[in-house]
Amino acid sequence: MSTIKVIGAGLAGCEAAYQIAERNIEVELYEMKPHKKTPAHKSDNFAELVCSNSLKAMRLESAAGLLKEEMRMLNSLLVKCADKCKVPAGGALAVNRDDFSSMVTNIIKNHPNIKVIEKEVTEIPTDNITVIASGPLTSEILADKIFDICGGSLSFFDAAAPIVKAESIDVNYAFTASRYDRGEDDYINCPMNKEEYEAFYEQLVSAERTPLHNVDVANPKVYEGCMPVEIMAQRGIDTLRFGAMKPVGLKDPRTNHRPWAVLQLRTENADKTMYNLVGFQTNLKFGEQKRVFGMIPALKNAEFIRYGVMHRNTFINSPMLLNADFNLRINNNIFFAGQITGVEGYMESGVSGLMAGINAVRKLKNLNPLILPKETMTGALSRYISDVSVSNFQPMGANMGILPPLEIHIKDKKERAKQYAGRSLAILNQMKEKGELI
């Protein structure tokens, strides 16, 4: 029997190893704990939940709830354990962290097809089918090897600007144009007059920020190169007007004059359902981002698909490197899984491991890869991390904004989410009945 190697026993690695082993393939699971730990890890157990015990909403009419239900249909180890370890948390699926990690660890260590090897991986076996699930705090030695195999496409710090849903942008206060009318109308421009800008500026520089931990800013040079917009603004009231919000080369069709300041939005995907706030890397708390950026007239009702973040996070430039089955294009023996692929969140990491594990087995058996339809949350995430049209790739969590639009536009947000969920689960049920999810 052939063996598949899995590097890392975090959420993604454990899910990948389980999916492979359940398909009667032997797994060698490499984990550097307990001999070596990252600054963020405390327990010797696998699948350690570092930042929170919440796995987000349970209701199907939410992106997080839909993702977990899809994972249940795919026989997810993590969701199975989470359901057994849950604690009261309103509408969220929260777990007892120690119980959850212990349960996952026991199942993995006692699986007859899984051999756990406690050592740090310093070389990537490129001639063997391998799933790399080493996480956002990958050790320096392994990160260097990943850097080499990926041709230098590796980020060590996540400085991301927010992304908003296209249909939530108020077009009455925006216009499409490129500077000096060069090229297509590539940007949605959000103009502000002097009074609007100065009010926005005052709130921006005084807004509450998320504390940065030592592990996040271990390299001050990297941090300086990812300057948050709120820090940049503190250099003077006009700094942004000569930087991220410069109005030169643009004319507001409502006034036929150049605006006082302009925020540009750039599309994140080929379908133009998501737009990035250009130059607005930020470390503001999520609620503050919604409040302060919502002062820009075109964004007053904006739905944030992803808020800006700034923290230590090793991830590859997946759209340039991975197929939708999480397979490395330049070496078909290598799969990636977890946050290193640019998915963001506990369950998102888990589902990437689930799909990488399934597809590693299918690769071993010379079967076509399993790539779920883009109408499913799992398929949409797989598509996002492999979509070559995604500009300025940054990590993404499950959200309704990455799903293709419904055939009929539904104004009510809750009803729209319900229809998204119903569409996804109907597709998966059909695939399950046909035996296509094996």
Cβ-based neighbours of 54, under 8 Å, separated by 6 or more: 89, 92, 93, 94
Do residues 219 and 157 lie in contact, with contact meaning Cβ atoms separated by under 8 Å? yes
What band does 266 get if pLDDT is binned at 50, 70 and 90? confident
Cβ-based neighbours of 20, under 8 Å, separated by 6 or more: 4, 6, 27, 113, 131, 357, 360, 361
- Whats the size of the chain, residue-wise? 438
The arithmetic mean of pLDDT across residues 95-119, rounded, is 95
- DSSP 8-state secondary structure symbol assigned to residue 417: H
Nearest-10 Cα torsion for 247, 248, 252, 255:
100
Q: What is the pLDDT of residues 284-323, one digit of tens each?
A: 999 999 999 999 999 999 999 888 877 666 788 899 999 9
Closest of 168, 177, 234, 227 to residue 204, by C-alpha: 234
Cβ-based neighbours of 409, under 8 Å, separated by 6 or more: none
Of the spans 190-194, 273-277, 303-307, which averages the highest pLDDT? 190-194
Do residues 210 and 283 lie in contact, with contact meaning Cβ atoms separated by under 8 Å? yes
Token digits of residue 107: 């199942």
112 pLDDT more than 60: yes
| The pLDDT of residue 338 | 95
Rg of the chain (C-alpha set)? 22
225 pLDDT more than 50: no
Terminal Cα distance for the chain, rounded: 19
Q: Which residue has the tokens 């063996």?
A: 3
| The pLDDT of residue 182 | 63
221 pLDDT more than 70: no
Percentage with pLDDT > 70 across the chain: 91
| The pLDDT of residue 37 | 72
Name the average pLDDT for the chain: 89
| The pLDDT of residue 433 | 95
Amino acid identity of 131?
V
189 pLDDT more than 50: yes
- Domains defined for the chain, CATH in brackets: 3-158+311-433 (3.50.50.60), 163-307 (2.40.30)
Q: How far apart are CA 356 and CA 324, in angstroms?
A: 10
Q: How far apart are CA 358 and CA 376, in angstroms?
A: 17
Q: How far apart are CA 350 and CA 104, in angstroms?
A: 12
- DSSP 8-state secondary structure symbol assigned to residue 167: G
214 pLDDT more than 50: no
| The pLDDT of residue 220 | 36
Q: What is the pLDDT of residues 149-182, one digit of tens each?
A: 887 656 555 567 898 999 999 999 999 987 777 6
The arithmetic mean of pLDDT across residues 35-42, rounded, is 70
pTM across the whole model: 0.73
What band does 217 get if pLDDT is binned at 50, 70 and 90? very low
Q: What is the pLDDT of residues 42-81, one digit of tens each?
A: 788 999 987 667 898 899 999 999 999 999 999 999 999 9
Q: What is the pLDDT of residues 314-371, one digit of tens each?
A: 788 899 999 999 999 999 999 999 999 989 889 999 999 999 999 999 999 999 999 9
Q: What is the pLDDT of residues 385-402, one digit of tens each?
A: 999 988 778 788 999 989
| The pLDDT of residue 138 | 80
Amino acid identity of 434?
K
Do residues 89 and 54 lie in contact, with contact meaning Cβ atoms separated by under 8 Å? yes
213 pLDDT more than 70: no
